[in-house]
Structures are given as C-alpha cells and as structure tokens.
Amino acid sequence: MKKSIPFFIISMLLSPFTNAQTTQVRDFVIEPQIKPNFYIYKTFGVFGGKEYSTNAVYLVTKKGVVLFDVPWQKTQYQSLLDTIQKRHNLPVIAVFATHSHEDRAGDLSFYNNKGIKTYATAKTNELLKKDGKATSTELIKTGKPYRIGGEEFIVDFLGEGHTADNVVVWFPKYKILDGGCLIKSKAAVDLGYTGEANVAQWPQTMAKLKNKYSQATLVIPGHDEWKGGGHVEHTLDLLNKNKKSE
C-alpha cells in the first residue's frame, strides 16, 4: 500500500487500488441518451461499505461502438459489450483509455484478446507497462481528429493534473467534453487520490482547458454527479483550497 489507511479511505475515489473490495458492487448503468449516438455510462466501486461511481462514455457510429474508458470492475467487461451489442445491434470496435488507472484503462488484455482495437497514449502505455499491465494495440494521436463511421472526436492532452497521462476527449458535433479524472464533479469535497497527481501543474492545465473548450455545453467529470455545469470552476476552487492548505 502506498498510502496510510485513513488517507486511502478519503481519497480512494480515484485510486488505482480500489479493486481490493469485499462488498458486492452493483452493475453498470447506461444513462438516457445525451445526444444522438452519445451515451454516458456509470460503473461503481465500493470501499469501507461506501459506494462511488465513475463516469465513462461511448459513441455509436455506423461502423460500430467506440468505448471511452472501461468499467471499473473487470467482471463487467463482457456484460457491457453484450448490452451494447443488444441495444444498438453493433459491436464495440475500439476502446480509448483516458489514463492508466483501473477505472479507465483497466485490463486492456481483455479487449486485445478479442481483437478489439485499444488506444492509449505513449505515456499511459509506459505507466501500464511499469505496473505489469497490458498496453494498447494502438497509440493515440493527441490533438488530431478521429473520424469513424460518421462521428468525430479529438483526444487532447493539455498537461498533467490528476495524473501525468490524463487526456480529455472533445466531441465537436455535440460540444461535449469528456474530462475524465482531470475534472472533479461539482459534488466533490476534495481532489480525491493525488498520489500520482501533479497538483502544482493541475491549475495551469485547467486554465488551458477552460480557454480551449469554452464553447462546451457539457463537461463530464470523472466521478460522481455529471449533470449541470460548474464542474470546471469547482475543480479550480478545490485546487485553490488545496494550495492554501499546504
């Protein structure tokens, strides 16, 4: 364990160690359609009897479904694929990881072994390899549009924050930004797990995000409540409070 037990309990929300759970975890939930072909799905983790949620998304294209981050629980990998296939009559054809943690990249070998293309940045693969985990079959080209089956998105690295490898995903047609764990929910009370964070650079990264994606009509945080606005501003507030408390 890298952290003391009290700190772990407080900060486990974003910790890559949350697979060590003894309580039954409820199944994933696919939220009502946000935009045509755009969906948010939530998965869950439990520690100390308390449940936490993770927000991830998927995009339905004419060629198949693109998954952005995997379920928090490996036991739900197959059932999510099956549910998506049944609901949309299309298979998952690609998985993009927004960073290396268990609730994002998870175990890419599951998808690699099924012939599903997996995508991660070189930095994410470096961290996965360091932890003895499978790396992606493809490297993400950050800042360049991906066009698949009539849909478009851009994976962007704006700087370090929650981790050294955290990226965001921009969907220009829908003006939606999937912020991953770089963005804290407006419901968050602290920064969560910062054991691998660059807290000093995080505010600068957020400033770049706020400036570059000011036209976003929805910004999706990595965990907890995603509806409404104010997530970016709240993240900056939390960072400011953290700096003052140091």
pLDDT at position 6 is: 41
**Whether residue 20 has pLDDT greater than 70:** no
pLDDT of residue 151: 98
Residue 16 makes CB contacts below 8 A (sequence gap 6+) with 100, 101, 102, 103, 131, 193, 196
Residue 239: pLDDT band with limits 50, 70, 90: very high
Rounded to an integer, the average pLDDT of 128-150 is 98
**Strands 138-139 and 117-120, sheet pairing:** parallel
How high is the pLDDT of residue 50?
Answer: 72
- Statement: residue 203 has pLDDT above 50: yes
Distance CA 66, CA 59 (A): 5
Between vectors from CA 205 to CA 127 and to CA 164, what angle results, nearest 5°? Answer: 10
pLDDT at 7 over 70: no
Q: Does the pLDDT of residue 116 top 90, yes or no?
A: yes
Where are the domains positioned within the chain?
Answer: 5-245
pLDDT at 64 over 90: yes
Task: Give mean pLDDT, residues 34-63.
Answer: 90
Helix (H, G, I), strand (E, B) or coil at 145: strand
Mean pLDDT over all residues of the chain?
90
- Which segment of 32-36, 116-120, 146-150, 174-178 scores lowest on mean pLDDT? 32-36
State the Cα angle at 83 between 115 and 154, rounded to 5°. Answer: 60
At residue 15, the pLDDT reads: 46
Q: Which two tokens stand for residue 151?
A: 């849909």
- Confidence class of residue 48 from pLDDT cuts 50, 70 and 90? low
CATH code for the structural domain at 5-245: 3.60.15.10
Contacts of 117 (CB under 8 A, 6+ apart): 93, 94, 95, 137, 138
- CB-CB contact of 185 with 223 (8 Å): yes
CA-CA distance, 96 to 84, in Å (whole number)?
A: 16
**H/E element, 232:** helix 231-245
